[in-house]
Amino acid sequence: MDIKIKKIDEWRYLIPKTGAMRVPGLVFSSPDLAPNIKDDQSLIQVANVATLPGIIRYSLAMPDIHWGYGFPIGGVAAFDMDEGVISPGGVGYDINCGVRLVTTALMAREIRPRIKGLISELFKAVPTGVGSRGRIRLSRKEASEVALKGALWAVKKGMGTPEDLERTEDRGAMRGADPEAVSERAYKRGHDELGTLGSGNHFLEVQEVREIYDRRVAQVFNLFEGQLTVLIHTGSRGFGHQICDDFLKEMGTRVSQWGIELPDRQLACAPLKSELAGRYLSAMACAANYAWANRQILMHWTREVFERVLQISPADLGMELLYDVCHNIAKIETHLVDGRQMKLCVHRKGATRSLPAGHPSVPERYGTVGQPVLIPGDMGTCSYVLAGAQGAMEETFGSTCHGAGRLLSRKKAIEATKGRAIHRELEDRGIFVQSRGKTTLREEVSEAYKDVSLVVEAVHMAGLATKVAKMRPLGVIKG
Amino acid sequence: MNPSELTYQIIDHAADMGIIVQAADIKDLFMRAAYAMTDIMVEGDIKGKPVRRELTFEGEDLPDLMVRWLGEVLYLFEAEKLIVRDIEITSISEIGLESVLNLARFRGGRHQIAREIKAVTYHQISVERKDGEWEARIIFDI
C-alpha cells in the first residue's frame, strides 16, 4: 500500500482519506523528522486505524511515531461511545506503561562523585529484567487489592505518602477496575512481578536538570537548574501483557460477528456498547492500577537507597513526586467535537495526556500552568518536562508525544554497535550505566532512537505541549 | 532438541522483533517456532530434570493457532519459569493442537535471560505453504 502525505504546514502532515478509511490521518512531525517516517510501515498503520468503526475526526500520530503492531507507536484515536470500538491493541500489551519523575532538594554536582555507588545500590534494590522476581509476593487476595486500588495499595503498605497520589494521573487508581474481569493466568504472571522494572526500554535514571525553558512553570513544578531528579519508566509487567493477550484473542474470535472487517488482526476490537468491551475496560483498569502501584513501589525503594547510601535525612533529601503519567491507555473522556461536548474513548498507544491549565483533571497545585508532561529520551541523551497545552485539547484529544521513538530495529542496532562497549562510551560522557541483559545496552544505544529534542520541538511548535525543562542522565539502570 | 531444528531468521521490525521459520511439514514448523522463540528469550544449556506437560488447545485457523501456541510457551516460561527442551506434537489440524512438552526449570546460574518477550502478536501473522514448504512469520512485542 502506497501512502500519500500532504504537508499542511511544517508540523502537520495529512494522510487523505482513501479506500476503507473512515477519516483522514493526521501526523504531527517536523521537516527534520518527516523523512524518517516515510520509510517504515507506520503510516499504513495510521491509515488502518482510520478504518475502525466510530473513529472521530482523525487517526492521529505524534512526532515519535514508529512502526508498532496494529496501531502505530505514537498513535492516538478517539471513538464515539455509541458507534465506536475499543481495541486492546490500541492500548498495547504493556497497559499503563508510563513514567514518573521524582525531584530532590539535592544538586547533581554534589552527587556526581558518588554516582557509581548509588547506581550499583539502586541496581541491587530494584529488580530488573525478566526472571528477576520481585521482592514482593502477592497472594491472590492481595493481587485483587492492587488491581482495585493501584498506588494507594502501596501507600497503605507504607511505600509512599498521600501527596504522591495527588501527583499521579487518576490519583494512581483508574475507576471501573474489576478484579474479577482479570484471568487467573494474568494473576499467575503478575504474582511475583510487582516491584520490578522489566527490560527493553524500561529504566530508572538519575538525572540533572540542565536547562529551564519556562521559569514560571518550572517554579510551580519545583524544578531548578542543577537539581538532581530521578525518572522511572515501567508498566504493568506480565499482568498487563496477559490481560491484553486474553482480550485480543477473545475479540479476535468475535469481531466478525459484529460485521467489523480488519486490515490487521492485531486491531481486533469490540463495540464500546458490548459486554466484552466493558469487561476489557474493567480488566485494563486493573492493569493500569498494577502499573501505578509498581512505579510507586520503585520510587519508595529509590528513596530508601538514597537515604541509606547518602546518609541523609528525608527532609534533606527532599524527594517528592513531580508527576506520574501513563502513555499506553484507553480513557473515557469528554472532548469538544464540532462545537459539542462528546464522551469519547481515547486510545493513547505511546502517547501522553497533555491537559492545559484549568482542566478539571489537572492536580490543583498545577492548575494554573497545566499538567506536567514527562518525555523520556534515550539513555545517552536527555529527557524533557513539558506542560500540557490548549492546542492538545483542540487538535489531539488532549494528547502529545511520549518519547524519542525508535529509528533502528533491534537487529540493526546490534549490527551498528558490533565490537563497541556501550557502557564505556557512556561512561566517557559521564553517564554511568548498569544493566542485566547482555544485548540491552546495544539495542538501546542512542543511535537507535530519534533525537528526542526534535520530537519535543515538534510538539512544542505544534502547540500540543510547551517546553519547561531538560534533564541529562548521570546514571541509569536497565533490564 | 536437535540443533538442526534451531533455524530461523530475524525480521527487522523497528520497535519489536519477529521471526521467519520454515519447515517441510506443519508439525515441524510449530516445533521450530517454539524453539526459535525460546532461543530468543534464554541463553545457556537447557538441561536439568525434565518436567512433562501435555498441552491441548484450539484456535480459529493456523495463524491463530500459532499465536496461541507460542503464547502457551511464553506463559509457561513467565508464570512457571519452565523452558522448552523437547516437543512432541501428537496431532495438529487447522483448529487444534495436541502436544507433549518436556521442559526444564529456569535456573539463574545456568540460564541467562537474553531478552524479554512481552507477547506474541497477531500483527502481520502468517502461516502458509510456499513452494511445497511451510513458512511462518511471527512478530513479538519486546
> Residue range A345-351: average pLDDT?
98
Tell me the percentage of chain A whose pLDDT exceeds 70. 99
Residue of chain B nearest A414, judged by CA positions: B12
Contact A199 B113 (CB under 8 A): yes
Partner-chain residue, chosen from B15, B71, B116, that has the shortest CB–CB distance to A199:
B116
Q: Flag whether residue A198 sits within 8 Å of chain B, measured between CB atoms.
A: yes
For residue A297, is pLDDT > 80? Answer: yes
Contact B116 A249 (CB under 8 A): no
Q: Flag whether residue A183 sits within 8 Å of chain B, measured between CB atoms.
A: no
Q: Where do the structural domains in chain B lie, given as residue ranges? A: 3-141
Q: What is the rounded average pLDDT for all residues in chain A?
A: 95
Residue of chain A nearest B71, judged by CA positions: A245
Q: CA end-to-end span of chain A, whole Å? A: 37
Q: Flag whether residue B95 sits within 8 Å of chain A, measured between CB atoms.
A: no
- Catalytic one among A191, A233, A402, A460? A402
Partner-chain residue, chosen from A265, A439, A479, that has the shortest CB–CB distance to B125:
A265
Contact A130 B116 (CB under 8 A): yes
Q: List the single range of A148-152, A194-198, A409-413, B131-135 with lowest mean pLDDT.
A: A409-413
Q: From residue A139, how far is each of A61, A85, A98, B45 by CA, in Å?
A: 40, 34, 25, 33
Q: Flag whether residue A242 sits within 8 Å of chain B, measured between CB atoms.
A: yes
Which numeric CATH code is attached to A6-478?
3.90.1860.10
> Residue range A384-405: average pLDDT?
97
For residue B4, is pLDDT > 90? Answer: no
pTM of the model: 0.96
Instruction: Return the residue in B65, B116, B138 with the most chain A beta carbons within 10 A, the one to mutate for interface testing.
Output: B116
Partner-chain residue, chosen from A67, A253, A439, that has the shortest CB–CB distance to B14:
A67
Q: Flag whether residue B25 sits within 8 Å of chain A, measured between CB atoms.
A: no
Q: How far is CA A132 from the centre of its chain?
A: 22
CB-CB contact of A223 with A470 (8 Å): no
What pLDDT band is residue A250 in, cutting at 50, 70 and 90? very high
The fold of the B3-141 domain, in CATH, is: Archease, Possible Chaperone; Chain: A; domain 1 (3.55.10)
Residue keyed to cell 518550572: A218
For residue B80, is pLDDT > 70? Answer: yes
Q: Name the H helices within A172-255.
A: 184-190, 215-220, 237-254
Q: pLDDT, tens digit, for every residue of A219-240?
A: 999 999 999 999 999 999 999 9
Question: Residue A2 burial (CB < 10 Å; 0-12/13-18/19+)?
Answer: exposed
Partner-chain residue, chosen from B12, B108, B114, that has the shortest CB–CB distance to A412:
B12
Contact B17 A410 (CB under 8 A): yes
Q: What is the rounded average pLDDT for all residues in chain B?
A: 90
* Confidence (pLDDT) at B114: 79
DSSP of A383-434, one letter per residue? EEEEEE-HHHHHHSSSEE--S--B-S-HHHHHHHTTT--HHHHHHHTT-EEE
- Catalytic, A402? Answer yes
